[in-house]
Amino acid sequence: MNAAPTETKAAAPVELDLDARLAEVGAIMTARLDQAGLTVDVNSAHIATDPLPEITIPQLPQTAIPASYGTPIADLLHRAQARLQADGWSREAAVDQEGRRCPIGAIRREAASRWQADDACVLLLEAIQRHWQTETIPSWNAQQTSVAPVLLAFERAAELAHHRGL
């Protein structure tokens, strides 16, 4: 009895079209999501369901001055201008006994680094020299009789920095 080996042919895999494959994957994903949701429910069942505490949004300190320009030096000049308005303007000292500041003192107070302060002072001097005859910021500042031209110079310097992308 010789038995001839029987060959069994494996059935060719059935190729599914795109819609059938998407439906199959969708069913698998639905089952996984259902299982994950159940796992979350089971794992978080012990957590108390107390109401959430009231959330309050902290207020910015009064000294925080929002930036109005998208460039660092222009923002610095804007903050220094606001610092002069908040702290007061000084003609003689970088910072006087009452806390009032000169333009350079305001820039130094707001600058993140010495180099940033130097760049802002260069732009402020350029803006001043475009409209007034002067050699330095301190000499020009000492000639002013009110804070108005100083604030105007800061505004012009900030615009200059902004347009240059600084």
Predicted local confidence at residue 2, as pLDDT: 60
Burial class (CB in 10 A: 0-12, 13-18, 19+), 159: middle
Instruction: Report the length, in residues, of the chain.
Output: 166
For the chain, residues with pLDDT lower than 70 are: 1-12, 48-69
Residue pair 147/89 in contact (Cβ under 8 Å)? The answer is yes
Nearest partner of 106 among 134, 126, 77, judged by Cα = 77
Predicted local confidence at residue 165, as pLDDT: 84
Predicted local confidence at residue 50, as pLDDT: 62
Claim: this prediction has a pTM higher than 0.75? no
Q: For residue 91, how many C-alpha atoms fall within 13 Å in the half-sphere facing its CB?
A: 9
Predicted local confidence at residue 59, as pLDDT: 59
